[in-house]
Amino acid sequence: MASFCQEHLQPHFDSPAFRDHQLQPPVQDLMRRKCPQHNRLRDFFCPQHDECICHICLVEHKACSPASLSQASADLETKLKHKLTIIYSQINGASRALEDVRARQRDVRVSSRKTEQLRQEYMEIKALIDAAEATSTRKIKEEEKRVNTNPEVPPPPTHLSACSPSHMLSFLPQGLCTCPSQCPEGLDSTILTSSLLSPFRDQLKHCISQQTSCHHHSHSSDWVPGSLSSLGSLCTSVILFFPH
């Protein structure tokens, strides 16, 4: 191989004797293409020793499997493409996994907000129930005191005994055996419970508001059976739908 300037290269285009010569693009550093031991162009590649060699070096590498530079370059390009295909596949798999993790994180955040909202609603309902229980207990004690003071007064209706503190724990869980809570498959139980508690909370507020209103407009010893009965049923329903 020789490197020509433009003036010496022109005869290879014009002369018929040189037209069969194979021309290659100029090399930036021709010395790097030459074998430092034999000063010949390195036209072969030895994969066992991972180096380029000249045709004289072939004698020293006769036990190896040298190939021409073009063939070695094509083989290396094929291997690189195969590795790139594997890497791209792994990148796509990692991207899908990352997107799945982000989706799960969003679901966790939504569930966390719903859980906190549910906890707040539960605390509010519990406060309303405690207030209603305190009012009912006070009324029962007032009625007992009035009956003990005046034995001729007939006892209160029997169904009010279920609202007393001693019977409250056995009365409220009765709803648990009436209609077991079921969450449809595929629906977050936290979201379902939150949506179910909202109307019960409003209804509980309404019942307690009615009871309080009736109490203010009547004598302190009068009974309000309808309101307490509704409150008992509502408490049973609240425990029925609240997650265990």
Structure-block tokens of residue 227 = 């309101």
Parse the chain into domains and list their residue ranges. 33-65
Residue 187: DSSP 8-state: S
Q: pLDDT tens digit string along 147-202?
A: 888 766 555 554 444 444 445 445 445 544 444 455 555 555 555 556 666 666 66
Highest-confidence range of 16-20, 60-64, 227-231, by mean pLDDT?
60-64
Q: Token pair 């009912």 is at which residue? A: 136
Q: pLDDT tens digit string along 110-141?
A: 999 999 999 998 999 899 899 989 999 999 99
Q: pLDDT tens digit string along 81-120?
A: 999 999 999 999 999 999 999 999 999 999 999 999 999 9
Torsion angle of C-alpha atoms 154, 159, 163, 167, degrees rounded to 10:
100
At residue 220 the predicted structure's pLDDT band, cuts being 50, 70 and 90, is very low
Coil vs helix vs strand at 52: strand
Structure-block tokens of residue 60 = 């020293």
Residues 6+ apart with CB under 8 A from 140: 160, 163, 164
For residue 36, which of 47, 51, 26 has the smallest C-alpha distance?
A: 51
Asked whether residue 68 carries a pLDDT value surpassing 80, the answer given is yes
Full-model pTM:
0.41
Query: Which CATH number is associated with domain 33-65?
Result: 3.30.160.60
Portion of the chain with pLDDT greater than 90, in percent: 22
